[in-house]
Amino acid sequence: MTVIAFPTRTGRRYGGRVVTGVMAFEGEQDEYVHSVAARLVAGDETALEEIYDRWSALVHTYALRALGDPHDAEEATQQVFISAWRSRHTLTPSPVALPAWLLGIARHKVSDVRAARARDAAKVAAATTLPEAQQAETEAADHALADRLVVRQAVQDLPDPRRTIVFLAFWEERSHAEIAQTTGLPLGTVKSHVRRGLAQIHQQLEGVRRATR
């Protein structure tokens, strides 16, 4: 097994301290993602470490759910970032392109693992003669899984208080009035954050879909 030293994956929770300067934060986030992607393309190894630290959890979760085996998921995740480094010249830097590009590599690695399993089990012939409807069902399930993970990542990337408000609205199913009471924010502000948060998530999801399908 190929071994490469990447930082330990880190995760973030919903909620947390409410901060100001939301629009400035969003611009800074997009600028950072574009910058780190450009540095990767230019051959900056520290950019690869930063990308791994931010997106390895997304890639690993996709691989684990698609493959169902922790060892295979770890191996696939590692191979994704090795391939990302080796094929960095194929990336066009942008905030949307980077996670979409990583998920595209992850899908190929998941397919590689599945093919290896089939070979090891001497079932290559059976795997290549699956009914077309069954193949389409498997692909649809993979796309749906990727969509869910992209949405979750997009929510995590929202700045507070927008992240907290979106989480309360759609994961805890609270009304706008309840959220306003909980957060102490005006009702109009809560509605605005919900609307803008959904727009950002939709933009991220559609960008990934266009780039990977």
Q: Which residue is it, tokens 């480094």? A: 85
In degrees and rounded to multiples of 5, residue 95 shows phi and psi of: -60, -35
**CB proximity list for 64: less than 8 A, separation 6 or greater:** 70, 73
> Looking at the domain assignment, is residue 10 inside a domain?
no
Residues 197 and 158 sit within 8 Å (Cβ to Cβ): yes
What is the distance, to the nearest Å, from the Cα of residue 175 to the centroid of all Cα atoms in its chain? 28
Q: Which of 98-112, 171-185, 198-212 has the lowest mean pLDDT?
A: 198-212
Q: What is the pLDDT of residue 136?
A: 62
Domain count, the chain: 1
Distance CA 59, CA 146 (A): 9
Residue 2: inside a domain, yes or no? Answer: no
Report the pLDDT averaged over residues 179-204: 87
Please give the share of the chain, as a percent, with pLDDT higher than 90.
27
Six token digits for residue 106: 């992850």
Segments forming the whole domain that contains residue 55: 22-212
Q: Tell me what the pLDDT averaged over the chain comes to.
A: 77
The reported pLDDT for the residue numbered 87 is 92
Is residue 98 within 8 Å of residue 206, measured between CB atoms?
no
Show the DSSP H helices in 121-186 as ranges.
124-128, 132-157, 162-170, 176-183
Question: For residue 17, is it left (φ>0), alpha (ψ between -120 and 50) or beta?
Answer: beta
Q: What is the DSSP string of 36-97?
A: HHHHHHTT-HHHHHHHHHHHHHHHHHHHHHHH--HHHHHHHHHHHHHHHHHTGGG----TTH
Query: Is 40 a residue whose pLDDT tops 90?
Result: yes
Q: Does residue 6 lie in a domain region? A: no
- Residue 12 located in a structural domain: no
Question: Is the model's pLDDT at 39 over the cut of 90?
Answer: yes
pTM listed for this prediction: 0.55
Q: What pLDDT is attached to residue 204?
A: 74
Question: Please, which residues have CB within 8 angstroms of residue 65's CB and are 6 or more apart in sequence?
Answer: 145
**What confidence tens digit (pLDDT) does each residue in 55-77 have?**
999 999 999 999 888 888 998 99
* Model confidence pLDDT, tens digit, residues 126-183: 445 555 555 566 666 766 777 777 777 778 888 888 889 988 888 888 898 898 998 9
Tell me what pLDDT residue 146 has. Answer: 73
Determine the pLDDT at residue 17: 33
- What mean pLDDT is predicted for residues 37-42? 93
Please report the pLDDT score of residue 120 as a whole number: 64
Q: Find the CATH number of the domain harbouring 68.
A: 1.10.10.10
Separation of alpha carbons 98 and 140, rounded Å: 22
Answer whether residue 150 is part of any domain.
Answer: yes
Pick from 189, 210, 194, 72: nearest CA to 146: 210
Establish if 1 belongs to a structural domain: no
What does the pLDDT read at residue 18? 33
The answer as to whether 7 is a domain residue is no
